[in-house]
Amino acid sequence: MLAVVPPPVTVRVPAKVNLHLSVGDAREDGYHELTTIFQALSLTDEVTVAVSEEPGVEVHGEGEKSVPTGPENLAWRAVCALAEYAERPADADGIRVVLRKGIPVAGGMAGGSADAAATLLGLSTLWRLDLARDELAGIAATLGSDVPFALYGGTALGTGRGEQLVPVLSRHTFHWVLAFDQRGLSTPKVFGELDRLREAGDPPRVGSHAPVVEALASGDPRQLALLLGNDLQAAAVSLRPGLRRTLRAGVNAGALAGTVSGSGPTCAFLCTGAESALEVAAELSGAGVCRTVRVAHGPVPGARLVGGDDTP
């Protein structure tokens, strides 16, 4: 009798921006305690998971050439982690993952983490594992600190290494313009540069996250704009001095405020509304300070099945 091959499953998954990112001092083990507020944005990757005689990872789109397709790809690591969890490691050899990237690679927007989250949801659906999102989040946390957030989306406070999440109420939709840089920045290098800057002096540190939570609840972009802050910004700018010019250009183009997203180099500009975001994007495109400009809004939901039931 012929085995029935399940149809491919496609998942859409959002990028994140950090509205607030406070980085503790390096611990003995080299890690930093983080307090961060993530927002999921309408800039997405699409991940298709299928049973195939040609297992592996295939990448298309934004930055495809700089994404590894071997076992180090985070999406493939997600396949292996789920196979182990579900005690079906042999089945992983029959899986193909196709990534369609809209999220810039090494852009500080957690694109690789998003792909891992999408793969967990897609593969658990393909294999009919019937896992709750919280159970998937447990596996996600073993893959990287930004992976659980990509499953849940919305707006959330992250602590620990960013993986312990509490949802944050965010009223209304916020409108963003994103400026992608020519090349990515390595996250470990940016943390290393922050450690170096802190040994040499006293780079600025963001305050408490509490006012950011209040601004999100108020839904007022002007209030939120005053509070955007990222301890990694000084380090990202130190490694990529041109970002200073990009940040200035966004504000000159009419954004309320700009911030480096996560470890950079993507810059995120908060705007008063959708129309203003389009105007800022048009002007920033012509300023010659970045590779590509995109508009996006947030918060949006986390990883979701495309065209199907998505309630694990």
Which positions lie near ligand ATP, rule CB under 6 A? 66-68, 73-75, 99, 105-113, 115, 146, 184, 187, 262-263
Q: Which of 16, 101, 115, 181 is catalytic?
A: 16
Annotated binding site for ATP: 104-114
Q: How far apart are CA 210 and CA 218, in angstroms?
A: 13
CB of 187 to ligand ATP, least distance (A): 4
CB of 218 to ligand ATP, least distance (A): 28
Q: Which residue is nearest to ligand ATP (CB)?
A: 112
Q: Which of 45, 101, 115, 146 is catalytic?
A: 146
101 catalytic per annotation: no
Annotated binding site: 104-114
Using the structure block, give the residue that is written with the tokens 């996600």.
Answer: 140
CB of 108 to ligand ATP, least distance (A): 4
The separation between CA 281 and the C-alpha centre of its own chain, rounded to angstroms, equals 20
16 catalytic per annotation: yes
CB of 105 to ligand ATP, least distance (A): 4
Per-residue burial over 25-41, b if 16 or more Cβ lie within 10 Å, else e, is ebeeeeebebbbbbbbb
Residue 215 or 236: which CB sits closer to ligand ATP? 236
Residue 187 or 223: which CB sits closer to ligand ATP? 187
Q: Which residues are catalytic?
A: 16, 146
